[in-house]
A and B are shown apart, each in its own frame.
Chain A
Amino acid sequence: MLDRIIEILQGIRDDIDYYSEDSLIDDGLLDSFDIVGLVSELKDEFDIDIIIDDLTPANFNSAESICALVKKLQDED
């Protein structure tokens, strides 16, 4: 799942090392437009429902934290 999430992220911006970067939001590497696109792709790809309580920088700061969020939402389903 991590590799697929990184593929999606690379589709948004391909100049970031998503395996090591852990401040995607805090450092402004992804902006609000990117998050809209990302959330939409994650919803489609993993058939999950992301609500506003999930839309925090902590959940989107790294590929791993996004992966953990997706797994949590799939488990809740």
Chain B
Amino acid sequence: MDSIVQALYLHAQESPERVAVIADDEKITYGELWKEVQGFAEFLRKQGFPKGSRITVKAAPSIWFAVSCFGIHLSGNVHVPMEKTIGPDGIINIADELAASMIVADADLSDKLEGKQYTCISSADVRSIARENYRDGLEFEFPTLDMTCDIMFTTGTTGKSKGVMESHRAVVAVSENVQYGADIPKDNIYLVPAPINHASAIRKLYVSILTGTTVVLLDGFTDVKKFFDYVEKYKVTSILMPPAAVRMILLLAAKNLAKYSDQLHHIHTGSAAFPEADKDKLCEILPNTRLYFAYGSSEAGCVSMYDYSKNRGLISCVGKPNKNANIFIVDDNRNPIKSSKENQGLIAISGGMVMQGYYNAPKLTKEVLKDGVVYTNDIGYIDDEGYVYMLGRKGDVINIGGLKIAPTEVENVVLRYPDIAECACFAVEDRMGGVVPKLNVVMKKGCELDTAALRAHMAKHLEAFKIPKQIVKVDELPKTSNGKLDRKNLK
């Protein structure tokens, strides 16, 4: 299989009546989607763009988005999804930066297009344009493996962020990683309640089309009622849930989720640190559901998946490498090492799913990608059984006279202590001018901090030098705008 749009074509021939995408309570079958995709590709072909032209799309969890995405791929052009909240100036910035040929957006840009080389069509018109341009007998060459498929922006508001270029080879490889890693069933119905321009979300659209199954798109988790309505109504069997969403559902609606333990084949979590306590709680309420934590990045895609419902207790484990991924550990000079818990290094990744590079940023690309290997800043090791462990980011490591402490390793142990709601481990200066690890903890309601008992708990799981010298109770921890721990502002 050379591209996801080719998989769409094959499934449209084999099972044209099967539902491909559900969004806004509307369904489209594989047969209908393939027709509309051809129609939109034909429209793009008529524009006369050279192949490989960039078409930017203000994303939305909608059927038109799937039509435009695969239509762009089929026409041999490059799909660039942007945040749904991006404003007109942000859209123009990105289109300028990419020298785009067309913008698809629900914004009125008429006063900003003068002198620009690109045009804009309304996202509301995508499907009618597709239908108008479809006719029987249209012929297309499918994109080949090395053509650029997507450019994914790591953040989409300023136009200054990094654009990760992914080939069709990479998109197919990462989709296969998820397909085999999660053993996606043939009748899977995947609920994706996340911004569809995010890598983890769009990959679930791709894996669903690759496997000829159904994807249900939903605009995030803020409408909790709709989330559960969709799980019930569409008999959802798998869900993409970022750690923040897991935390939200556990706090607001754990009992409701528990009802679906038999219906749900798996839950896919990834993209950020995932507290061990939340994993434990999810295992408790969903005893019959596989619970995957996926490890990866924008640059290398999803490279390993770990079913923590089966292998409980392996703290910081991210599983074994997926089908198309090769994971190894290197030292600071990028030389491969034989790693272990005692001899940790940096995680390096190769395989079909690695990016082509950052758009228009060769210098930046060289810092991360060399000879097909993505060198991450993630500290980790691989055990004798081949399990990969990711302990934290290089910049976050606390170095005490050469002894290194990954804060997340300490935090994951502390979060298993029942009275602790949240915690953060970080370095502070000691009286001698060196650094020592400090721990700030937020207690669960009604719980008091028992420092001695907490230290005893840590001593069972951590070497002595990793146990924080100072433990302080705080009301809250600093967070970034997307809810992650703000390590720079810990005191």
In the complex, the number of residue pairs spanning A and B with C-beta atoms less than 8 Å apart equals 49
Decide if A31 is an interface residue (CB 8 Å cutoff): yes
Could you tell me if B252 and A55 are in contact, using CB atoms closer than 8 angstroms? yes
Is B220 engaged at the interface, CB distance under 8 Å to the other chain?
yes
Q: Which of B32-40, B242-250, B391-399 forms contacts with chain A? A: B242-250
**Which positions 238-276 of chain B face chain A at CB distance < 8 Å?**
244-245, 247-248, 251-253, 256
Q: Which residues of B contact A36 (CB under 8 A)?
A: 247-248, 251-252
- List residues of chain A with CB within 8 A of the CB of B482: 31
Complex interface: chain B residues within 8 A of A39 (CB): 252
Within 8 Å of chain B (Cβ to Cβ): is A56? Answer: yes
Size of interface on B: residues with Cβ below 8 Å to A: 20
Binding site of A, secondary structure by majority: helix, strand, loop or mixed?
helix
A32, A40, A53: the one contacting B225 at CB < 8 Å is A53
Q: Which residues of B contact A32 (CB under 8 A)?
A: 220-222, 244-245, 248, 483
Q: How long is the Cα–Cα vector from A54 to B437 in the complex, in angstroms?
A: 43
How many Å from the CB of A22 to the closest CB on chain B?
15
B479 within 8 Å of A (CB atoms): yes
Q: Which residues of B contact A53 (CB under 8 A)?
A: 225
B314 at interface, CB cutoff 8 A: no
Interface bits B196-228 vs A (CB < 8 Å: 1, else 0): 000000000000000000000000111111101
Q: A33 to B223, alpha carbons, bound, how many Å?
A: 12
A55–B85 contact, CB under 8 A? Answer: no
Cα–Cα, bound, A50→B228 (Å): 15
A33-B483, A52-B253 are contacts. A57–B223 as well, Cβ < 8 Å?
A: yes
B253: shortest Cβ distance to chain A, in Å? Answer: 5
B interface: dominant SS: helix
Asked whether any CB of chain B lies closer than 8 Å to the CB of A73, the reply is no
Residues of B with C-beta under 8 A to A31 = 222, 482-483
Contact partner, A52, options B222, B228, B244, B247, Cβ 8 Å? B228
- Using a CB-CB cutoff of 8 Å, which residues 11-56 of chain A contact chain B? 25, 28, 30-33, 35-36, 39-40, 50, 52-56
Q: Is the CB of A33 within 8 A of B244?
A: yes
- Distance in Å from the Cβ of A50 to the closest Cβ of chain B? 8
B253 and A35 form a contact (CB under 8 A): no
Chain A hits for B221, CB < 8 A: 32
Are the CB atoms of B248 and A35 closer together than 8 Å? Answer: yes
Closest chain-B Cβ to A44's Cβ sits at a distance in Å of 9
Looking across the interface, which residue of chain A has its beta carbon closest to that of B481? Answer: A31
**What is the distance, in angstroms, from B156's C-beta to the closest C-beta of chain A?**
13
Determine if A35 and B225 form an interchain contact, defined as CB atoms under 8 angstroms apart: no
Q: Which of chain B's residues have a CB closer than 8 A to the CB of A60?
A: 222
Question: B225 to chain A: which residues have CB within 8 Å?
Answer: 52-56
The 3 closest A-B pairs by CB, nearest first: A55-B224, A33-B483, A32-B221
Between A and B, 24 residue pairs with Cβ closer than 8 Å are A25-B222, A25-B223, A31-B482, A32-B220, A32-B222, A32-B248, A32-B483, A33-B244, A35-B222, A35-B224, A36-B248, A36-B251, A36-B252, A39-B252, A40-B251, A52-B224, A52-B228, A54-B225, A55-B225, A55-B252, A55-B253, A56-B223, A56-B225, A57-B222
Interface residues of B (CB under 8 A from A): 85, 220-226, 228, 244-245, 247-248, 251-253, 256, 479, 482-483
Other A-B contacts than A33-B248, A55-B225, A57-B222, 7 sampled, CB-CB below 8 A, are A28-B85, A32-B222, A35-B222, A36-B251, A55-B224, A57-B223, A60-B222
